[in-house]
Structure 1
Amino acid sequence: MTQQWSSGMVGALGVPMKAPEEPQAPPPDGPRRRRRQLLIFGGVAGAILAVGLAVLLVVLLSADGDPFDDRAPAPADVRPPLAMACPAPTGSPSAAPTQAPSAPPSATGERTVDEEAGISYRKYPAPWVTWDEVWRAGTLEVPYKVGQHFVTEVYSGGRYHASILSAAVPAADNDAVSLDLECVGRQVASDARAEYYPQPNRMEPIRDEVTTLGGRPAWVSEFRLRFQAPGLTATEELSAVAVVDVGKPTAAVLYVSVPGTHKQFDYVVEDVLESVRPL
């Protein structure tokens, strides 16, 4: 048999030689290894810090107001609506009476007495009857609890009334007893016109003034309103709103209304205002 020889280099007869191995790089020394580890750790720490700062900025920027203001937020204003709209006057002789008002003339006949409001006024015979409800109407929700009324007509919108109603309404800050009568009076009268009557309506002013009722400072607004509402026979009404300073944080409110269908009772508006007395 013929013997085959392997190609390539041989070291011994018939035995092939191994190819030389590639030389390997020497392992890095200690200082180089530590520098590489520090670079890796530094990169990871920087990434974590960047993420943390981003989250902190999002929280701060989404907070209300100044995020660096450590002052406590201002307390909510819990004053009554009229006290907020009409702060007590200061630095003026009209802010409060300098002396007690003169004694009012004596009142005779039957009286309606409103202990909470701090006033009384004339009581009228039939068809007027005693008011026995609590009516909170309008934006100011003046709580009318005392007075007289009678139903003048019943229509699709309900019952329509002639009214003589009184209430006590908070109108001063805390224990203050000085009222801005003009401001409070205009607010109450405006609320009555906007909320008590069909809209739109047209007002014919009769008087709008600071005066005295029963010897106490007061604001009186008297007016005639003209309006229309489906099914309602009345198209006008004589009304008055009086706000009386009774020397308390609450003001006394007297609201009087006589529909045009019962003009024979128009005299009651002026008459009941003149009859007001403080308690």
Structure 2
Amino acid sequence: MSGPGQTIAPAGWYPDPDGAAGTVRWWNGQTWSDVTTPAGPGVAVQAPPVVAPPLPPSGWDAGQGSGWQAGPSSPPPPRPRTAWWLGGAVLAVVAVVVVALVVGFSGEGSPPVPEDPPVSAGPSGTPFPPGTVRIIDEESGISYPFLGNGWFEYDLGLMPETRTIAGQYFVTQEEIPTGGNFIAQCTSGPVSDGYGWNGPGSEQATVTALADSVRTAYYPFPNEREVLRDEALTVDGHAAHLVEFQLTWDVEGYDSTGERAALVVVDVGRPDPALLYLSIPNTHAELYGVIDRVVADIDVL
């Protein structure tokens, strides 16, 4: 914990204190880990005014990998990605390997889901029932892996981008400046009207509009965005489009200084396409790999 007037470096990537040029090392908020990675695009390196852990290499430029695009000058007031309520007593964090109560069970013979690194989650919602390997969203028409290890059933309320919502989340910071909590999430739903869907062939236009919407609505402002991927996909034989981006910000009161987000719009052959939305703050950057894992394992129902 940090007392009054003290500053402690939050978890994140920092220039490697061992002095390896162009390399960053993961700091978990208390100690250095053994995890290192090359610095560059897609790696959100903590930078001033955050106080980094001791012994960063001198002369390292935390701004390398530039090319960020400035956000709009006067956005509408943000709608934080927060918990609308945390009912009753606060639930203790548990490591769960559990089934999609939100949306049903997978069929027999589903392969076991490999474990991800445990997450350090704050008070969250309802654990999934034991045995879950996939989340099956009947409303949107897709299914995808349950991530286990501290992820909870999404029960925080609707988002305007989709008509219904299903999926998983955990709290990464309580009591952010705009109210409520900051979360990591992996959710889905049928796309609402007003985001450019005109039938097959409009996947890119729709996912671009959705990416702009969530950037304005759910993240600290001002922020900067680097698009990492903007590409057409085939998902279980169906046309889809992916936009993945890294946001960075320097806003007082937030543990995170950035977030990795990905949105996939899939033409599931229904009047509304499906949206899969993944968002991981850089306080938990070691979980960025779940984005590729989930995107690669979407099934159309």
**TM-score (structure 2 length as normaliser):** 0.52
Q: CA RMSD in A?
A: 2.0
CA–CA distance in 2 between the matches of 1:214 and 1:178? 15
Percent identity reads 34
Q: Evaluate the alpha carbon distance shift between residue 238 and residue 107 of structure 1 in structure 2; reply closer, same or farther with a 3 A threshold.
A: farther
Asked whether the equivalents of residues 140 and 188 of structure 2 are also in contact (C-alpha less than 8 Å), the reply is: yes
Asked whether the equivalents of residues 176 and 182 of structure 2 are also in contact (C-alpha less than 8 Å), the reply is: no
Specify which of 99, 116, 122 is matched with residue 139 of structure 2: 116
Aligned length: 168
CA–CA distance in 2 between the matches of 1:245 and 1:117? 10
Aligned to 2:167: 147
CA–CA distance in 1 between the matches of 2:236 and 2:222? 35
CA–CA distance in 1 between the matches of 2:146 and 2:244? 20
CA shift for structure 1 position 228 = 2.9
Q: Which amino acid aligns with 1:108?
A: P
CA shift for structure 1 position 170 = 4.3
Deviations 1:76-104 (CA, angstroms, capped at 9, x unpaired): xxxxxxxxxxxxxxxxxxxxxxxxxxxxx
SS of alignment partner, residue 262 of structure 2: strand
Aligned to 2:266: 244
Q: Which amino acid aligns with 2:189?
A: A
CA–CA distance in 2 between the matches of 1:144 and 1:159? 21
Asked whether the equivalents of residues 171 and 251 of structure 1 are also in contact (C-alpha less than 8 Å), the reply is: no
**TM-score (structure 1 length as normaliser):** 0.56
Aligned to 2:88: none
Alignment of 1:125-144 (within 5 A): 125-137=148-160, 141-143=161-163
Asked whether the equivalents of residues 226 and 235 of structure 1 are also in contact (C-alpha less than 8 Å), the reply is: yes
Asked whether the equivalents of residues 162 and 192 of structure 2 are also in contact (C-alpha less than 8 Å), the reply is: no
Which structure 2 segments of 5+ residues have no match?
1-108, 113-132
Q: Which has more radius of gyration?
A: 1
CA shift for structure 1 position 182 = 1.3
Aligned to 2:44: none
| 1:268 matches 2:271 | no
CA shift for structure 1 position 192 = 1.2
Which structure 1 segments of 5+ residues have no match?
1-105
Asked whether the equivalents of residues 177 and 247 of structure 1 are also in contact (C-alpha less than 8 Å), the reply is: no
